[in-house]
């Protein structure tokens, strides 16, 4: 049983000091974080479409709903989850926001890798650094909400020069028993100097009802480290998913991100990357497959704060029926960030005649010696290609799926880790297999 059992909140009103239980074990920093988050949230409030950052994604329907905290933390759909987990990997599973001993395997971790539950984490210098990387004043109201409501979370620490061979798979499972549940997944990752790691963070839902997942992940990548960070969003059909991933890159570090969205009714993925020191390389890949009334909004923001950094982003999407996608790619190149290379491309395939795409590059360049390009395309399937496939026995619906699959195949092939690639492929295939 949780102390928040039976409690609920409405986001349109000011958040009160929620009694999360007065267990003595709750560390002081966490109380402070909640308090700052609450104040920040109350100051900002739920944005409307008049807010430029939320122009194409209306979250006001969320504001009036009454959200309950999860009541149960046992998983009913065990087989589904087991099918999704690879026992060879380091699995960290949270069910309805609470760490699950049953499904996680964090024993016998490689030396230099530690995984802890935030609630039991005493004061830790690394953690403190991470928490304060993006201060509570950072303008992200849903990150503030996550802080305000934070109960459990995962802290992954990779020491300097540690090479983590096995994929770290953090899985947030939503399986709420009551309607309009709010879940606040929180992950903090610190990657040491010259360390190397592959991380997949999955959000999966096994629920037929509506729920709200308000996720936040903060990552610090130190000097010369190399990280692959993938986010897979396969929430339930009725789910709202608003998540922010904030990454801080130090000198000469390498990062490849991949974001796959196939689930949920409304999704907002914020991806903020700050290139604080020179010599960093960053790849941002994204893929979304939407159908019916689904809505996905990918907001990326890459901040070049130092010279000689490269960022390269490619987001691709498939839209069917009445679905909607938003891509907003902001690139900020500060005055100091000379010799910046920054590329951005968003490509969309529209299968339905009633889908809508709003794609917007947003470049703010203050340095004078930079190379920045951006582009966006929206296209439909080629009739000649469809006829060619049909003349080879392949019926219309399968032809559409094969071509849709072909449209996104190149981006999936860029995933450096085979095991992650297979998993994302599995999710993507089930999304593509229902296209017509």
Partner 1 sequence: MLEIKDLHVQVNGVPILNGLHLTVNPGEVHAIMGPNGSGKSTLAKVIAGHPEYEVTKGTIEYEVNFKKINLLEMEPDERAKEGVFLAFQYPVEIPGVNTAVFLRAAFNELCRHQGAEEMDPIEFDEFLRSKLTLLNMEEKVINRPVNVDFSGGEKKRNEILQMAVLNPRLAVLDETDSGLDIDALRIVAEGVNKLKRKDNAVILITHYQRILNYIVPDFVHILSNGRIVRSSGKELALEVEERGYDWL
Q: How far is the CB of 390 from partner 1 (least distance, A)?
A: 4
In angstroms, give the least distance from the CB of 294 to partner 1: 23
Structure tokens of 209?
Answer: 């009802």
The verdict on 389 binding partner 1 (CB under 8 A) reads: yes
Please, are residues 371 and 339 in contact by the beta-carbon 8 Å criterion? no
What is the phi/psi pair of residue 143, to 5°? -65, -40
In this chain, which stretch among 4-12, 91-99, 122-130, 399-407 interacts with partner 1, using CB under 8 A? Answer: 399-407
Q: Which is nearer to partner 1, 52 or 384 (CB)?
A: 384
Half-sphere exposure in the Cβ direction for 6 (13 Å, CA):
3
Which range touches partner 1 (CB under 8 A), out of 77-85, 115-123, 363-371, 396-404?
A: 396-404
Can you tell me which of 403, 420, 424, 432 binds partner 1, judged by CB under 8 A?
Answer: 403
Sole binder of partner 1 in the list 405, 415, 427, 432 (CB under 8 A) = 405
Q: Which of 223, 252, 340, 357 is nearest to 298 (CA)?
A: 357
CA distance 176 to 168: 25
> Taking CB under 8 A as the rule, does residue 394 contact partner 1?
yes
Residues in region 356-385 near partner 1 by CB under 8 A:
382-385
**Measuring CA to CA, how many Å separate 100 from each of 91, 109, 202?**
10, 17, 15
Binding span for partner 1 by CB under 8 A among 150-158, 160-168, 173-181, 387-395: 387-395
As measured in angstroms, the least distance from the Cβ of 89 to partner 1 is 25
Q: How far apart are CA 414 and CA 257, in angstroms?
A: 10
Taking the least distance from each CB to partner 1, the nearer of 211 and 258 is 258
Angle, to 10 degrees, between the axis of helix 28-44 and the axis of helix 141-149? 140
In the complex with partner 1, which residue's Cβ is closer, 26 or 398? 398
393 binds partner 1 (CB under 8 A): yes
Size of the site for partner 1 (CB under 8 A): 24
Interacting residue with partner 1 among 32, 58, 396, 429 (CB under 8 A): 396
According to the binding rule CB under 8 A, does residue 409 interact with partner 1? yes
Rounded Cα distance between 373 and 377, Å, is: 14
Q: In terms of residues, how long is the chain?
A: 436
* Binding of residue 388 to partner 1 (CB under 8 A): yes
Backbone phi, then psi, for 409, in 5-degree steps? Answer: -60, -40
Q: Rounded to whole angstroms, how far apart are CA atoms 55 and 328?
A: 11
Instruction: Give the nearest distance from C-beta 316 to partner 1 in angstroms.
Output: 10
402 lies in the site for partner 1, by CB under 8 A: yes
Q: Does residue 408 interact with partner 1 by CB under 8 A?
A: yes
Judged by CB under 8 A, the residue of 372, 398, 419, 425 near partner 1 is 398
Site string (147-186) toward partner 1, x via CB under 8 A: ----------------------------------------
The residue among 336 and 385 lying less far from partner 1, judged by its C-beta, is: 385
DSSP secondary structure letters along 155-209 = EEEE-TT-B--SPEEEEEEE--SSSSEEE--EEEEEE-TT-EEEEEEEEEE--SS
Q: Give the residue ranges of DSSP H helices in 45-140.
A: 60-64, 78-84, 125-133
Q: At what angle do helices 418-432 and 396-412 cross, to 10 degrees?
A: 150
Among 22, 25, 353, 391, binds partner 1 (CB under 8 A): 391
Which of 251, 306, 407, 420 touches partner 1 by CB under 8 A? 407
Which residues sit at the interface with partner 1, rule CB under 8 A?
A: 382-385, 387-396, 398-399, 402-403, 405-410
């Amino acid at each position: 049983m949780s102390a928040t059992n039976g409690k609920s909140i409405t986001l349109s009103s000011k958040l009160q000091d929620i009694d999360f239980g007065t267990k003595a074990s709750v560390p002081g920093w966490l109380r402070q974080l909640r308090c700052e988050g609450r104040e920040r949230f109350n100051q900002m409030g739920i944005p409307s479409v008049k807010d430029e950052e939320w122009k194409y994604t209306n979250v006001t329907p969320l504001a009036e709903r009454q959200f309950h905290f999860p009541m149960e933390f046992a998983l009913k759909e065990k087989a589904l989850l087991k099918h999704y987990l690879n026992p060879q990997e380091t699995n960290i599973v949270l069910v309805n926001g609470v760490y699950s001993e049953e499904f996680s395997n964090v024993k016998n971790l490689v030396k230099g890798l530690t995984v802890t539950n935030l609630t039991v984490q005493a004061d830790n210098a690394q953690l403190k650094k991470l928490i304060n990387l993006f201060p509570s004043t950072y303008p992200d109201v849903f990150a503030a909400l996550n802080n305000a409501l934070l109960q459990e979370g995962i802290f992954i620490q990779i020491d300097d020069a540690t090479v983590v061979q096995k994929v770290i798979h953090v899985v947030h499972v939503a399986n709420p028993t009551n309607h309009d549940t709010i879940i606040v997944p929180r992950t903090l990752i610190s990657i040491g100097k010259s360390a190397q790691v592959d991380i997949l963070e999955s959000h999966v839902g096994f629920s037929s009802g509506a729920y709200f997942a308000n996720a936040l992940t903060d990552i610090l990548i130190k000097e010369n480290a190399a990280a692959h960070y993938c986010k897979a969003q396969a929430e339930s059909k009725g789910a709202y998913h608003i998540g922010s991933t904030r990454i801080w890159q130090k000198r000469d570090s390498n990062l490849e991100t991949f974001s796959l969205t196939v689930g949920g009714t409304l999704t907002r993925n914020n991806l903020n990357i700050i290139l604080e020191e020179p010599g960093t390389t960053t790849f941002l890949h994204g893929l979304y497959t939407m159908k019916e009334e689904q809505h996905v909004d990918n907001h990326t923001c890459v901040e070049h704060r130092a010279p000689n950094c490269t960022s390269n982003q490619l987001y691709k999407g498939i839209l069917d029926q009445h679905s909607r996608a938003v891509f907003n790619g902001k690139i900020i190149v500060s005055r100091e960030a000379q010799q910046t290379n920054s590329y951005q491309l968003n490509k969309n395939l529209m299968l339905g005649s009633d889908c809508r795409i709003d794609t917007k590059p947003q470049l703010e360049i203050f340095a004078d010696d930079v190379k920045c390009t951006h582009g966006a395309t929206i296209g439909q399937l080629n009739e000649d290609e469809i006829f060619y496939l049909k003349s080879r026995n392949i019926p219309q619906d399968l032809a559409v799926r094969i071509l849709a699959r072909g449209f996104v195949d190149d981006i999936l092939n860029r995933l450096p880790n085979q095991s992650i690639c297979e998993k994302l492929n599995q999710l993507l295939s089930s999304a593509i297999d229902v296209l017509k």
